[in-house]
Amino acid sequence: MRIDSHQHVFWHGRDAVGLIADMDTYHIDKAWLLSWEVLPHEDERIYHGVLNPVNIRPDGTHSGIPLSDLLRARDAYPDRFILGYFPHPQHSEAPKLFESAVKIYGVRVCGEWKFRLCFDDPRCLEVYRVAGKLGCPVVLHLDVPYLADATTGEMRYQKNWYGGTIDNLERALDACPETTFIGHAPGFWREISGDCVSDPSAYPTGPLMPGGRLHGLFERHGNLCADLSAGSALNALKRDPVHAKAFAIRFADRLLFGRDYYGGDLLEFLVSLALPQEVQEKIFYKNALRLVP
């Protein structure tokens, strides 16, 4: 069995039919469909070409991946899709909106969190706590607000940041111990190496350096998991396949197969690691089933 724990629909040119065809090609049984609410002030036109053109607002901004699109896909393929949803934390009733989505539409995942806020913003914490009470894992997207300049080493502001830093993430983990969080995206996976603060790339390459803070974060917080989706996780693991195999075995109970896109690149790499059967089963579906029975 395979469960894709991080997926979107009406995304990169595929509707529900196209997504199902891709899932069938790679023998993926089910997918978590995640929303992404974008307020006008957060809109970035670089995403417009990969999102549903129907969701362009009159002012030219895009609303992202709304719950309504996910419902259309889920209702067409109820046995293949599991709903995720995260109302924008700046909505005054965001916690109640999420609870209503669980009760009315059967939402099982709180995600995707991808907002121009810090993870530990009080408005976010309130939604996390509701998700924890309802038994819904929270999927977090981390892109850091500063990267080192490749020439001078000076820290440069990145306008497309989401979540803050790994320190903001740890404070959220501390504040919501009853909630399960699933880390994701470049800002999260770059922390696998100890030199990430000085590395100028959002997608660092080269050998891993000792002291990566991701390891300690997993050790200190039993409520932290991670999905292997998008190019960020695959890039981090490919930097050192020997370390990747050891990492996957060590944190086998915390890692989830997920793509955030289409194709079989991640699947091919994981198979190449020749992981023990038990570890493969946990990553491919057992951890997802444990979090969302």
Kindly report the backbone phi and psi dihedral angles of residue 139, in degrees, each rounded to the nearest multiple of 5, phi listed first: -95, 120
| Residue pLDDT tens, the chain, 293 long | 999 999 999 999 999 999 999 999 999 999 999 999 999 999 999 999 999 999 999 999 999 999 999 999 999 999 999 999 999 999 999 999 999 999 999 999 999 999 999 999 999 999 999 999 999 999 999 999 999 999 999 999 999 999 999 999 999 999 999 999 999 999 999 999 999 999 999 999 999 999 999 999 999 999 999 999 999 999 999 999 999 999 999 999 999 999 999 999 999 999 999 999 999 999 999 999 999 99
- Residues in the chain, overall count: 293
For CA atoms 11, 14, 18, 24, the dihedral sign is negative
**Burial classification of residue 26, based on how many CB atoms lie within 10 Å of its CB (0-12 exposed, 13-18 middle, 19 or more buried):** middle
CATH classification of the domain holding 188: 3.20.20.140
Query: Whole-angstrom distance between the N-terminal and C-terminal Cα of the chain?
Result: 14
| Domains in the chain, number | 1
Do you find a cis peptide bond into 112, omega within 30 degrees of 0? yes
Cβ atoms 245, 275 nearer than 8 A: yes
Crossing angle of helices 94-105 and 67-76, rounded to 10°: 10
Which domain covers residue 257, as residue numbers? 3-291
